[in-house]
Amino acid sequence: MSDNKKKVVIVGGVAGGASAAARLRRLDENAEIVMFEKGEYISFANCGLPYYVSGEIKEQSALTLQTPKSFNSRFNVDVRILSEVIGINPKDKTVTVKKVVDGTTYEETYDTLVLSMGADPIRPNIKGIDSSKVFTIRNIPDTLRLKEYVDYKKPKSAVVVGGGFIGIEIAENIRAVGIDVTIVEMSNQVIAPIDYDMAAEVHAHLRSKGVKLMLNSALEEIEETENALYVTVNGNKYETDMVVMAIGVKPESKMAVDAGIEVNSRGAIKVDSHLRTNIKDIYAIGDVIEITNYITKEKGYVPLAGPANKQGRIVADNICGLGTVYTGTQGSSVMKVFDLTVASTGLNEKEAKHQGLDYGKVFTYSANHATYYPGASMMSIKTIYEKKTGKILGAQIIGSVGVDKRCDVYAVAIRANMTAYDLTNLELCYAPPYGSAKDPVNMAGYVIENTLTGKVDMIHWEDLEAAKADENGILLDVRTQGEVARGGIDGFINIPVDSLRERLSELDKSKTIYITCQIGLRGYIAARILSQLGYKCKNFSGGYRQYQILENDKNNM
């Protein structure tokens, strides 16, 4: 920055705004920095809010990362809480500020303006939405109101509308205090960043914890009587004690629109790679902006804390003339679902299909560490890759331990444009309590490599009906007789893989052999035996384990 003292006004704190202010001060000790926040908290852990409701996070103070006083002491930022910026005048380079306490307004000048207003919870225009027994959870006041109701009114039942991150986390945390929970979700699955074939495993876990799922269902009306609260879902009326709305968020951008700042159809502010808006000296960051997908380069909207923090740093760099570029968002996320961890990064299959990409997918099941060391648990991994190059496009992982570690490896692999061949060469940390000599990420790379190099032909469970209908096909289950006795797929004959060489005469070489096992590994071994002996084989990725999960989920719909 030049020797001239510049005045930077930041609208909104929390993740993006507070990060921008702190970085700006570290770069320029002389800048005048003013940060406005319409609430009374400038920097709080909004991702931790659901855990305060259950008491997992016990102290409210733990949610407050910085106070106005501490932020001013450390970074010399003029923090003005309970001050809502209600208008922008780009021509005069001023903002209109309303004092929340008394409603009075005043004008504040700026040289550079940073918009970090975030997003508001979506509240559909339905009857009864304004009931005092209907809650959202986006900030600390929301959370305190919800916790007070839970602690003092002692509700016995709750309907959570929305099966995304916040909806699932709220469901878990109010279930933890003994409340019966029903999740109402318009889609056929929870947690949109993962695909249905992975979400089915989450559905089973939620049901095992006593959470009721109403998928493919829409909330139509809320009715409050003197003694009860009723919700209408898909035309049916249900009684409940409270409703939590968690159907997503929308950018808080009306003020920007009124000032002539360009937004997309969703209302997210358009920015360039330096996070500049279309109006000179006005930047925007966080949940209020449109992002560029790192992989597809398509525009989108991904309101996550990680990108918001990084954008805050980058915008400060650019204000100070460093020219730092935001290279895009890949949507890396992780969440706790009772005893499970669910993580994803990059593209899911829905997005890859929507983009018309020539992609492939594999399902692998690996232990989080060496199985001979006590306490190993399995992880379900779905990897999306580009067929032509083997480039990794996305990953989804579900398990109890070690999930975040592996998904972080995938996130780095995607950012570095690595391929499945690169995954096989990664030298990851190994000791029996922590991993395996062939890490689960290595294993996914091996499976994709085998597919790309023609060592195995992989098909999936959406291909099952076509396989059953193939008159020139044989359905083969290579698990043990004991496993098959406990459950199998209709139409499959059983020849255990260890007996396969001795029973080749039972298989017609002129037909295609569709092979399954428990998770896909023994099926691959069987396919390698048979293909080298002249048989045409197709191995079902994910095996009977995935089939069983999907079938059970469909039966519970």
- Say which DSSP state 286 is in: G
| Residue in the block written with tokens 């945390």 | 173
Q: What are phi and psi of 515, to 5 degrees?
A: -110, 140
3-class secondary-structure state, position 244: strand
Asked if residues 407 and 418 have their Cβ atoms less than 8 Å apart, the reply is: no
Environment class of 234 (CB within 10 Å of its CB; exposed 0-12, middle 13-18, buried 19+): exposed
Nearest-10 Cα torsion for 210, 211, 212, 214: -160
* Type and span of the H or E element at 475: strand 473-477
Task: Output the furthest CA–CA distance in the chain (Å, rounded).
Answer: 90
Cα–Cα distance, 323 to 321 (Å, whole number): 6
* Type and span of the H or E element at 353: helix 349-354
Q: What are phi and psi of 315, to 5 degrees?
A: -65, -35
* Type and span of the H or E element at 468: helix 464-469
- Say which DSSP state 438 is in: S
**139 to each of 43, 63, 146, 329, 476, how far by Cα in Å?**
10, 10, 11, 24, 55
| Residue in the block written with tokens 């391929």 | 419
Look at the alpha carbons of 258, 262, 268, 271 in this order and tell me if their dihedral is positive or negative. negative
Residue of 17, 6, 7 lying closest to 289 (CA atoms): 17
- Which active-site residues does the annotation give? 47
**515 to each of 455, 479, 511, how far by Cα in Å?**
14, 10, 12
Q: What are phi and psi of 130, to 5 degrees?
A: -90, 10
Beta carbons within 8 Å of 334's beta carbon, 6+ residues apart? 341, 342, 343, 403, 404, 407
Residue of 285, 385, 333 lying closest to 35 (CA atoms): 285
Beta carbons within 8 Å of 112's beta carbon, 6+ residues apart? 6, 7, 8, 9, 281, 282, 283, 319
3-class secondary-structure state, position 113: strand
Cα–Cα distance, 428 to 438 (Å, whole number): 9
Q: Quote the tokens at residue 431.
A: 């000791």
Q: Quote the tokens at residue 365.
A: 């099941």
Residue of 88, 138, 97 lying closest to 269 (CA atoms): 88
The amino acid at residue 467 is A
Q: How far apart are the first and last CA of the chain?
A: 59
Q: Quote the tokens at residue 227.
A: 């003694």
